[in-house]
Amino acid sequence: MRTTSEKPPQLSLRARLRYWWRRVVKPISKERRAEVQVHLRDASHPDFDYFVLVLLSSVIATQGLLVDSPAIVIGAMLVAPLMSPVIGLGLSSITGDERLLRDSASALLRGAFLAVIVSLVIAWINRHLPFVVLLELPNQVITRTTPSPIDLTVALAGGAAAAFALAMPNISAALPGVAIATALMPPLCTIGIGLAMGRMDVAGGATLLFITSAVTITFAASLVFFSLGFRGPLTNSQQRVPRSLFVSAILTLVLLGSLSYLSYRLFETANDNRMIEMVLYEEVDKVEGVELIDWKATSSGEILELDIVLRTLHLIRYEDSVALQKAIADRLQRPVAVIINQVHAAQLDPLVPPTSTLTPSPTLTSTPGPSPTLTYTPTKKPTSTPAPTETSTPTLTPTFTATPTSTPTPALAKAVNTAVPGLRLRQWPAGPEIAVLRQGEALIVLYGKRVLDGLVWLEVEDKEGRVGWIPEIYLFVVTLTPTNTPTPTATGTPAATMMGTLSPTP
């Protein structure tokens, strides 16, 4: 029997924290825990239904990524069943359920492999039979190639929300939103697209994003299930924090550090690009009649290589390009090599009609000299009188001489290898679309020729008079014939000087 003078035993700090935590977070009942475990076993089992949903969702996601449609990609997120195996991994790491762990790992790996193969096949077919012409990567693909700490934070919150919604039956309606926020299928399809296009940087970035999301969701689910009272067999060791939770937490911290470093590097690159863009716009604006359209920067050692596209009202001289390169290098304080691609444009104002300009044409006129005049004077005595002298003034007589000069003639060509919906005529190489060409349509190949990303572009004119650019591989040249054009040349030939003497007859 304890007397009134005795004090109650003092609780340790760990016990007081556990007591406070249990008052805030109420553990769920054993019956509900059993229901959740059975549900995840069924949802994570790699059966026929699971693989059918993976197949269909990967087809939808790949098509949405290729056509750059966020709505289609969101539809694939809702169909994809990959969230259940990841949540199952988190629960099995807490409860020690070996069957759930085995089924979840198998379903996740086999489903991920199937999604990559399906997207790889679809992207490869589209590359050889281009239903969607990809001159550059869609934005939906690019956004899934550079994971950042923001993606890890979203996956952490999404995994916790998914586990909490599964454990609490009254808020299970939030699972579709969680599936959209923590999407796993689009990164897998991005891996396949990158492999089909030979872009290992795209495939590598998407792989890192998928691993980050999967590990972080697993850790968040494990933490939530542990907080809600999920345990394995009742042993003393199970009252402590499981080792698997420590392992997943360490992996999450490693990924967070890696993504933070990559984000810092991307931030530096973005800051440099912002500075380069500002300098380019300011220096190009100083050149009259020139507008900056596009630019691309690459580094070759210490030299910054800039490939810029300018729209000009007049052709830029070589001296102007040298001055522009020097000004950019001085502003950036680093060696710069500039390659300028000019797009010559004509400026028209509908409110100001064009004025006709008279162009003088040279006219060759023959001017004869003075005509000779004969004078005869009779005399009484036959005397010899010197006759007048006929003198001709030397003049220039125009003589036409045909000088053959070679004049380049635009070549005739046909559009070939076009596909549905057709070959696109663009305003400049890889620029905006201005027309769609049909198979066999006649074209005139003009004199412009450029190489962009290893693809040769030619300047052409269609039958409606529209001038644009298409890749050379889609042209079949019919003829290319030089013609000889006679050029009139005026040469001066002095006329002969004639002397004549008339003698009178006695």
Q: Where are the domains of the chain?
A: 22-240, 269-344, 404-487
Residues 477-505: what's their mean pLDDT?
46
Per-residue confidence at 228, pLDDT binned at 50, 70, 90?
A: confident
Whether 191 and 206 have beta carbons less than 8 Å apart is answered as yes
CA 175 remoteness from chain centre: 34
Above 60 in pLDDT, residue 504? Answer: no
Per-residue confidence at 405, pLDDT binned at 50, 70, 90?
A: very low
Above 60 in pLDDT, residue 137? Answer: yes
CATH 1.20.1080 fits 22-240, yes or no: yes
- 3-state helix, strand, coil split of the chain in percent (to 5) is 45, 15, 35
Q: How far apart are CA 124 and CA 17, in angstroms?
A: 57
High-pLDDT (> 90) share of the chain, %: 11
CATH superfamily name and code, 269-344: Cation efflux protein, cytoplasmic domain (3.30.70.1350)
Least confident of 123-137, 380-394, 477-491: 380-394
More confident residue, 434 or 368: 434
Per-residue confidence at 297, pLDDT binned at 50, 70, 90?
A: confident
What pLDDT is recorded for position 147?
A: 86
Above 50 in pLDDT, residue 434? Answer: yes
What pLDDT is recorded for position 373?
A: 44
What pLDDT is recorded for position 356?
A: 54
What pLDDT is recorded for position 32?
A: 82
Above 90 in pLDDT, residue 191? Answer: yes
What pLDDT is recorded for position 494?
A: 44
Q: How far apart are CA 35 and CA 158, in angstroms?
A: 22
| Torsional sign, CA 99, 104, 105, 106 | positive
DSSP assignments along 349-372, one per residue: -TTSPPPP-------------PPP
Least confident of 27-31, 76-80, 98-102, 171-175: 171-175
Q: What is the pLDDT of residues 239-272, one digit of tens each?
A: 566 777 777 778 888 888 888 888 778 778 888 8
What pLDDT is recorded for position 36?
A: 84
More confident residue, 418 or 408: 418
More confident residue, 295 or 399: 295
Q: What is the pLDDT of residues 269-283, one digit of tens each?
A: 888 888 888 988 888
Q: Among 17-31, 47-61, 437-451, name the most confident range.
A: 47-61
Residues 388-406: what's their mean pLDDT?
46
Q: What is the pLDDT of residues 35-87, one digit of tens each?
A: 888 888 888 888 898 999 999 999 999 999 998 888 999 888 888 888 889 98
Per-residue confidence at 407, pLDDT binned at 50, 70, 90?
A: very low
More confident residue, 183 or 139: 139
What pLDDT is recorded for position 56?
A: 94
Angle at 351 between CA 346 and CA 353, to 5 degrees: 65
Residues 291-298: what's their mean pLDDT?
86
CATH T-level topology, domain 404-487:
SH3 type barrels. (2.30.30)
Longest dimension (CA), the chain: 190
Residues 353-359: what's their mean pLDDT?
55
What pLDDT is recorded for position 398?
A: 47
Above 60 in pLDDT, residue 400? Answer: no
Q: What is the pLDDT of residues 298-348, one digit of tens each?
A: 887 788 888 888 888 877 888 888 888 889 888 888 888 888 888 877 766
SS3 labels along 276-336:
HHHHHHHHHHCCCCEEEEEEEEEEECCEEEEEEEEEECCCCCHHHHHHHHHHHHHHHCCCE
User: What average pLDDT does the chain have?
Assistant: 76
